[in-house]
A and B are shown apart, each in its own frame.
Chain A
C-alpha cells in the first residue's frame, strides 16, 4: 500500500531525513531515573517510577502506554508543571530538574506543551488573539501593540487559520481548529521543545490527519523537538523517530520506531500491538490476538519484580523476585524483560565473585 499526496503538495517529500537527521543530532534532553510520586493519604502513588530516555534535537520521541501508565505525568514533569520526586532532567547540557523563579521562566520559553482537550485548555473568556499572545506578553517578546498583533497574525497563518480569527472566542471554533490554536500558543514563544500530550486523541480521524501533518510540517520548518504522548500506537508510529513503551510507571521497551513495530520484544508491547484493530477486514479475521487477562494493578502497590508479571503470558518464577533491567537486546533496541537475560545466573556470579 502506498500513499500519494493528492494535491501534489510541494512540501510533501515527507520524512526525507527522518531517521538520518535525528541520529547525527546532539542530545537535547536527557532524563535519568525520573520519578514522580503523589501522596494519596498515607500511601504514595508511584505514577512515574524511574524512567530514562534521551531525545535528540529535531527528533520526535513517542511515549505510549495505556491510561494510568504515567506517560502524561512524565510529560508534565518535563515541562516542570510538576516537581520531580527523584532523578534528573538535563536539557541542553544543563540540569533543570529543580530550577525555580527566573530560571524557570527562561526555561518556559524553550519548553512548551500542547494539551489533549482543546476545549479545556483554552480560556473561554479570552479572545484567540489574547490566548496566543499570552506568552508573548509574559516574556516581553513584542515591542509594541502592532508587533504583538503582527506576531499573532503570523502564528495564526502558520497553523492554517486566518487573521480574522484573532478576535473570536474559543467556542466559535471546531475541535480541530481549537487544537490549531493550542499549537499556535505553544509556538508563540519560539520554543525548541514541545511536549504534545495526546494532541489528536479528541479529534475525528479526518481532522486528526490535518493536525498530525501540521505538527510534522512545523517540525521540518523550525527544527522542533517533540515528546509525543499518546495511547494510539498507529499515530505514534506515524510521527515518532523513537518510541518508548510505558507500563505502570516504568519503561518496558525503547527503540527506533520501525524496530518497535516490526519486532516488539517485550510481551507487553507484543500484546499492545496485537490488540490494536487494523482497518483491514481480511487482516483482522486472520489475526491471532494476544488478549491480556485482567486489569492494570494499582500504582500504589505495584507488583514485586516485573510489574507486568500479573498479566504476562510468559511469566516465570524469577519475574516476581527480581526487577528486570533495561538492556540492549538487539542493536539500539532496549527492553526490560527476564526472557532476554538470566538475572538469577548473573546474581549468583556476582555473589561468587564478591565471595571469592
Chain B
C-alpha cells in the first residue's frame, strides 16, 4: 500500500521516473537495504533536490539511475527507472553506454577523484565529444575550449593543456561540470556538487549550474544534505530517510508547510544565520536505523517524539496535501492526534 504511491498523481511531463526502487548490497555482515522502495519523478527543466542524511540512500538511488553501483554486490530487489520509454534497470549495458554521458550525466562530490590526474583536462573533455558526438580531434578541442569558457574558466586556450592538479578545487568542479554538460544531456545528476567547496566558491558553482540549466534546458537532480543549498536552487524536494522517500513537495511546501516529523526535525536542527543564537538548537535524538535490519514500520519511529503504537508496526501510506505535496506519516490518519510542528518552522 505504501509502495510506489509517491507522486502517484502522475505527471506526463516527467523526463525520468523512479518507481518503487529497491536496492540492496551484499556485505559480509548481511544484506544492506540501502534503498527500500523510493519513488520520485523529474520534470522537464526543473531542479529536484533529494535531501537526507548520510546513509539515507540518496546517493545509491541516484547512482542506480546511471547504473554505477558496483555490479558484483548490488542486488536490485525491485522497481523501475523509466527514461525515454525504457526501464534503465533492464537495459543491456551496450545501450546503457549510449545513455550514460550524452543523455544522463553526473557530477560527483569530489572533483579531484572524478578527474584523471594523469590526463590533460582537454582530453578528458574531448573524450565524450569524440565518442558520443563523433567530433573530429580538432573540432572537439575547439569545443572543449568553448566549454571551459562557458563554465567561466579564464584563459581557456592554455588551460585545456593543463593537468587537474594545476586547477583549484572550484576550477576542477567547473571542469567536471563542463564534461558533464559537453553533450547537452537531458538529465544532470549532481551528487553533493558543492559540499567539498568553500561557500564563496559554492555560490559561484550554484550560480553557474542555474545559468547553464536556463541555457541548455537540462533537468537536474541535486543530491545534498544542505538545506540552504536546497532553498536556493531547488524547485521541488524529496526528503529521504532510511531508504524511503518520506515527503515530497515544492520547495515552499517543504520549508513552510512540512508535514513529516523528520522534516520538522531537519529544519529545526540547523543553526540559522538569522536566528537568535541564545536559543538552543533542537537536535533529533538518537541516530538513523541500521540498514542491515531496518524496522518494519515507519523508519523514523524510534527518533520521533510523536510516535504511536501503529508507527512501529506498519509503514504509513502517502497522504496528499496538494498536487505536489505528499508525506508518509501516521499523524495524517483521521484517528491520529492533531500535532503542531515546532514553532521555529513553517509559519508562512
- Whether A3 and B203, one on each chain, are in contact in the complex, defined by CB atoms closer than 8 angstroms, is no
- Whether B232 and A277, one on each chain, are in contact in the complex, defined by CB atoms closer than 8 angstroms, is yes
**What is the distance, in angstroms, from B148's C-beta to the closest C-beta of chain A?**
15
Among residues of B, the one whose C-beta sits closest to the C-beta of A235 is B271
- Whether B271 and A295, one on each chain, are in contact in the complex, defined by CB atoms closer than 8 angstroms, is no
Please name all residues of chain A whose beta carbon is closer than 8 Å to the beta carbon of B202 when the two chains form the complex.
Answer: 275, 277
Chain B residues bordering chain A, tally (CB within 8 A): 56
- Whether B269 and A208, one on each chain, are in contact in the complex, defined by CB atoms closer than 8 angstroms, is yes
**What is the distance, in angstroms, from B294's C-beta to the closest C-beta of chain A?**
16
- Whether B277 and A3, one on each chain, are in contact in the complex, defined by CB atoms closer than 8 angstroms, is no
- Whether B229 and A277, one on each chain, are in contact in the complex, defined by CB atoms closer than 8 angstroms, is yes
Report Cα–Cα, A209/B267, bound state, in Å. Answer: 11
Tell whether B199 is near chain A: CB-to-CB under 8 Å. Answer: yes
Report Cα–Cα, A330/B116, bound state, in Å. Answer: 50
Please name all residues of chain B whose beta carbon is closer than 8 Å to the beta carbon of A280 when the two chains form the complex.
Answer: 231, 255, 274
Tell whether A231 is near chain B: CB-to-CB under 8 Å. Answer: yes
CB contact under 8 A between A257 and B272, given known A231-B199, A295-B201: no
- Whether B270 and A233, one on each chain, are in contact in the complex, defined by CB atoms closer than 8 angstroms, is no
**What is the distance, in angstroms, from A333's C-beta to the closest C-beta of chain B?**
17
Tell whether B227 is near chain A: CB-to-CB under 8 Å. Answer: yes
- The size bracket of the interface on A is 35 or more
- Whether B273 and A257, one on each chain, are in contact in the complex, defined by CB atoms closer than 8 angstroms, is no
Tell whether B68 is near chain A: CB-to-CB under 8 Å. Answer: no
**What is the distance, in angstroms, from B174's C-beta to the closest C-beta of chain A?**
11
Tell whether B140 is near chain A: CB-to-CB under 8 Å. Answer: no
**What is the distance, in angstroms, from B332's C-beta to the closest C-beta of chain A?**
20
**What is the distance, in angstroms, from B164's C-beta to the closest C-beta of chain A?**
15
**What is the distance, in angstroms, from B31's C-beta to the closest C-beta of chain A?**
20
- Whether A234 and B272, one on each chain, are in contact in the complex, defined by CB atoms closer than 8 angstroms, is yes
Stretch from A11-19, A30-38, A318-326, A343-351 contacting the other chain: A11-19
Out of B168, B199, B231, B251, which one reaches A295, CB within 8 Å? B168
- Whether B271 and A212, one on each chain, are in contact in the complex, defined by CB atoms closer than 8 angstroms, is yes
Interface string of B101-131 (1 = CB under 8 A from A): 0000000000000000000000000000000
- Whether B203 and A275, one on each chain, are in contact in the complex, defined by CB atoms closer than 8 angstroms, is yes
CB contact under 8 A between A66 and B199, given known A6-B305, A277-B229: yes
Out of B201, B267, B273, B281, which one reaches A273, CB within 8 Å? B273
Out of B231, B272, B280, which one reaches A213, CB within 8 Å? B280
Please name all residues of chain A whose beta carbon is closer than 8 Å to the beta carbon of B284 when the two chains form the complex.
Answer: 206-207, 209
Please name all residues of chain A whose beta carbon is closer than 8 Å to the beta carbon of B225 when the two chains form the complex.
Answer: 204-205
Stretch from B37-45, B69-77, B339-347 contacting the other chain: B339-347
- Whether B281 and A209, one on each chain, are in contact in the complex, defined by CB atoms closer than 8 angstroms, is yes
Out of B171, B207, B271, B344, which one reaches A291, CB within 8 Å? B207
Out of B53, B170, B228, B268, which one reaches A278, CB within 8 Å? B228
- Whether B273 and A234, one on each chain, are in contact in the complex, defined by CB atoms closer than 8 angstroms, is yes
Tell whether A210 is near chain B: CB-to-CB under 8 Å. Answer: yes
Tell whether A271 is near chain B: CB-to-CB under 8 Å. Answer: yes
Report Cα–Cα, A66/B232, bound state, in Å. Answer: 20
- Whether B271 and A237, one on each chain, are in contact in the complex, defined by CB atoms closer than 8 angstroms, is yes
Tell whether B230 is near chain A: CB-to-CB under 8 Å. Answer: yes
Please name all residues of chain A whose beta carbon is closer than 8 Å to the beta carbon of B54 when the two chains form the complex.
Answer: 175, 204
- Whether A1 and B347, one on each chain, are in contact in the complex, defined by CB atoms closer than 8 angstroms, is yes
Tell whether A99 is near chain B: CB-to-CB under 8 Å. Answer: no
Report Cα–Cα, A14/B287, bound state, in Å. Answer: 24
Please name all residues of chain B whose beta carbon is closer than 8 Å to the beta carbon of A204 when the two chains form the complex.
Answer: 53-54, 225
20 contacts between A and B (CB under 8 A): A3-B282, A5-B280, A67-B198, A174-B287, A175-B54, A204-B225, A205-B225, A205-B227, A206-B269, A208-B269, A210-B285, A212-B281, A258-B277, A276-B273, A277-B206, A277-B231, A277-B232, A279-B267, A280-B255, A295-B201
Other than A216-B280, A291-B200, give 12 A-B pairs with Cβ distance below 8 A: A4-B342, A5-B282, A6-B282, A9-B280, A14-B278, A66-B201, A276-B273, A281-B252, A283-B231, A289-B203, A291-B204, A295-B168
* Chain A residues packing against B (C-beta within 8 Å): 1-7, 9, 12, 14-16, 18, 66-67, 174-177, 204-210, 212-213, 216, 231, 233-235, 237-239, 257-258, 261, 271-284, 289, 291-292, 295-296
* Chain B residues packing against A (C-beta within 8 Å): 53-54, 168-171, 198-204, 206-207, 225-232, 234, 251-252, 255-256, 265-285, 287, 305, 342-344, 347-348
